[in-house]
Structure 1
Amino acid sequence: MFRDLRPYVQSALRGLGVPAADLEDACQEVFVVVHRKLATYEDRGSLHAWLYGICVRVANHTRRRRVRTPDVGSDTLPEGVDLTTPAEQLTASQGRQILYSILDQLDADKRAVFVLYELEELTMSEVARSLDINLFTAYSRLRAARVEVQQAIARFARQKVVR
């Protein structure tokens, strides 16, 4: 289970704003929780939605802990994509950095809904269920997150033109 789901969990955690330096610890923490709660898992939705709910709580805990203990190292992105040329690798890395930067600007609630729906492609019902929120609340957060993401993309595009 760990080997199969680890890439998904790492991607979810990174999308939720967990810095690369804390990614391994947070991933292990997710699987500790999974091991502890697996016996009580109810197959009401997808396994990924259940896992993502755990990732949200672990990511929030990791970010709160990080505020108390500031990072003195660098925040490098894990290399998950094996592209053929250095130029393609650089482009992919820059794209991930831009995406993570935009996602970091969202508050945790909006980011969770946005990542689950737009990136993980869960249905809104699954999103609401995995985050234990009302469906209308999920839609409201998604709408607000989309506005903020569009504004961030527009700011980035304007900065890119000015350079």
Structure 2
Amino acid sequence: MDRVNKTVLDALEEHQSIRIHGDLPTKKLDSDDYLASTRKTISEFVSFWNDIANLQLLAVEIWPRRSYFALDFNNSKYDYDKAHTQVIVLPVYLLRMSRRSGSWRIFRHKPEDSHLAKRIAFLHEGNGQDPTPFLEDHIKGVVYGNPRNLLPPLEP
């Protein structure tokens, strides 16, 4: 955990704003409440990070084997009302939990910068005015009951 926190501190010093793309085994989560169990799983990190940054958990995606979350640090450009049309690209760090040991690794994952930004805009579009974090459960099925509009997000 100390290495993860050091990496985050160094990243914030370098970039000011970053995005964590979390990756963890779905079997480590409680299937009755994926959102709450994701929060619980990352709570040790978040309690430390809350003291050093403005955090926002934007989305959690559940898949049969792996689940993912997006967590923004100091994203001053984020505007909930416009987030479905804005693609805010931030440096992405992949935080991955090992399936076997439950230990965490973190590393800079530049290929995800633009892709994750577009995915977050898409989730805002599909989830309409629902509050963040958005939960997409691909095991039970995803239904967008009230999308904001049909316009694609603007490119950065």
Q: TM-score, normalised on structure 2?
A: 0.33
User: Radius of gyration: which is bigger?
Assistant: 1
Q: TM-score, normalised on structure 1?
A: 0.32
